[in-house]
């Protein structure tokens, strides 16, 4: 296998997380493209793993932690590491050591750029981006919010551990309407998918639903809220992993609309 830096030929694949075959990627809007254009000049690094035939099977993206959704200094932050594991498209590349090779390449690159360490986020449960996988490769727990674990690997003795940036406020309810607020940072296509599905699901209810999409790729906006990605209906967070379908979100919104004074009949909002 070969680990290479992102180049113009690989850029289209990177922007759809190597899933150019997936119809879901057509639902995600242009959030990833706009985020990439903003961050590529602010230290974003992307590496891609190619197999012996030159087929892209994995990727990792990381950037200075000051540009991420965690707090720290002189560290890089791994946003995600992804090895294509679907039968569709390019096929299953798991079990070939691509993830380990990508992680090692990112660590070496961060060291060469003067970082004192590197951080990553993982999930405490046994599925995608497992925190346990990073710990297996020498990472330590630095912080945790719910099932989201912030891990890190120091390179120098004076490196300081990172911390999560906590939510500072939540969306408020809107008098006389159902409030639907989607926070979208842009780096994660799964969360971009959630935001776009929520936007479409909120249509059809007229002024009974107040929809707002908040772009947190703007650092000041993110720091104001302390929320990078998320979906809130009437101020209550909606579970977004895996991304709920548009129909499920529309049903959730319609249920809230029916509780409004003079709310519409149950079929309102359906397309």
- pLDDT at residue 264 in the model: 55
Q: Do 52 and 186 lie in a common domain?
A: no
Is residue 42 assigned to a domain? yes
117 with 210, same domain?
Answer: no
Question: Mean pLDDT lowest for which of 166-175, 189-198, 243-252, 259-268?
Answer: 259-268
pLDDT of 270 higher than 60: no
> 130 and 153, same structural domain?
yes
Which residues, at least 6 apart from 43, have a Cβ–Cβ distance to it below 8 Å?
A: 63, 64, 67
Residues 6+ apart with CB under 8 A from 202: 180, 209, 211, 253
Q: Please, which pLDDT band fits residue 262 given cuts at 50, 70 and 90?
A: confident
Position 25 confidence tier, pLDDT thresholds 50, 70, 90: very high
Instruction: Tell me what percent of the residues of the chain surpass a pLDDT of 90.
Output: 89
Half-sphere exposure of 170 (CA within 13 A, CB side): 12
Are 92 and 149 in the same domain?
yes
Q: What is the pLDDT averaged over residues 164-185?
A: 96
Confidence (pLDDT) at 125: 79
What b-and-e string marks burial along 77-87, b requiring 16 or more CB atoms within 10 Å of the CB? bbbbbbbbeee
- 86: domain CATH number is 3.40.630.30
Q: Is residue 171 part of a domain?
A: no
**252: β partners:** none
Whether the per-residue pLDDT at 70 is higher than 90: the answer is yes
Of 125 and 60, the one with more pLDDT: 60
Tokens of 193: 């998918």
- 111 pLDDT higher than 90: yes
Are both 227 and 253 inside the same structural domain? yes
pLDDT over 90 at 44, yes or no: yes
* Same domain membership, residue 182 and residue 159: no
pLDDT band at 269; cut points 50, 70, 90: low
16 and 120: one domain? yes
Tell me the pLDDT band of 261, cut-offs 50, 70 and 90.
confident
Verify that 82 and 216 share a domain, yes or no: no
Q: Tell me the average pLDDT across 45-59.
A: 96
**Structural domain includes residue 155:** yes
Residues 67 and 117 in one domain: yes
CA neighbours closer than 13 Å in the CB half-sphere of residue 205: 32
Instruction: Quote the number of domains for the chain.
Output: 2
User: Average pLDDT for residues 95-104, to the nearest whole number?
Assistant: 96
The pLDDT > 70 percentage for the chain reads 96
131 and 208 both lie in a single domain: no
pLDDT, tens only, 195-246: 999 999 999 899 999 999 999 999 999 999 999 999 999 999 999 989 999 9
Where residue 227 sits, what CATH number does that domain have?
3.40.30.10
Query: Residue 263: which pLDDT band, with cuts at 50, 70 and 90?
Result: low
Residue range of the domain that includes 97: 2-163
Judgement on whether residues 126 and 8 belong to the same structural domain of the protein: yes
Of the residues 133, 163, 193, the one at which a domain ends: 163
């Amino acid at each position: 296998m070969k680990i290479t830096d992102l180049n113009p030929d690989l850029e289209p694949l990177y922007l759809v997380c190597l899933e150019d075959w997936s119809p879901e990627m057509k639902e995600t809007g242009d959030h990833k493209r706009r985020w990439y254009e903003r961050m590529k000049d602010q230290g974003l690094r992307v590496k891609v793993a190619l197999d012996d035939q030159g087929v892209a099977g994995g990727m990792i993206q990381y950037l200075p932690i000051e540009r991420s959704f965690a707090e720290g200094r002189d560290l890089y932050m791994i946003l995600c590491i992804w090895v294509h594991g679907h039968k569709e498209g390019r096929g299953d590349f798991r079990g070939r050591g691509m993830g380990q090779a990508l992680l090692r390449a990112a660590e070496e690159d961060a060291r060469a750029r003067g970082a004192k360490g590197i951080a990553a986020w993982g999930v405490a449960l046994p599925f995608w981006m497992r925190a346990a996988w990073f710990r297996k490769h020498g990472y330590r727990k630095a912080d945790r919010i719910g099932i989201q674990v912030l891990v890190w690997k120091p390179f120098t003795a004076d490196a300081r551990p990172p911390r999560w940036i906590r939510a500072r406020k939540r969306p408020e309810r809107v008098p006389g309407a159902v409030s639907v607020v989607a926070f979208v940072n842009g780096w994660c296509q799964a969360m971009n998918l959630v935001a776009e599905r929520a936007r479409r699901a909120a249509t059809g209810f007229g002024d009974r639903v107040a929809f707002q999409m908040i772009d947190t790729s703007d650092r000041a906006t993110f720091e104001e809220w302390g929320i990078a990605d998320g979906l809130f209906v009437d101020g209550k967070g909606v579970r977004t992993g895996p991304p709920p379908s548009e129909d499920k979100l529309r049903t959730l919104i319609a249920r809230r609309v029916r509780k409004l004074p003079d709310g519409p009949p149950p079929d309102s909002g359906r397309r």
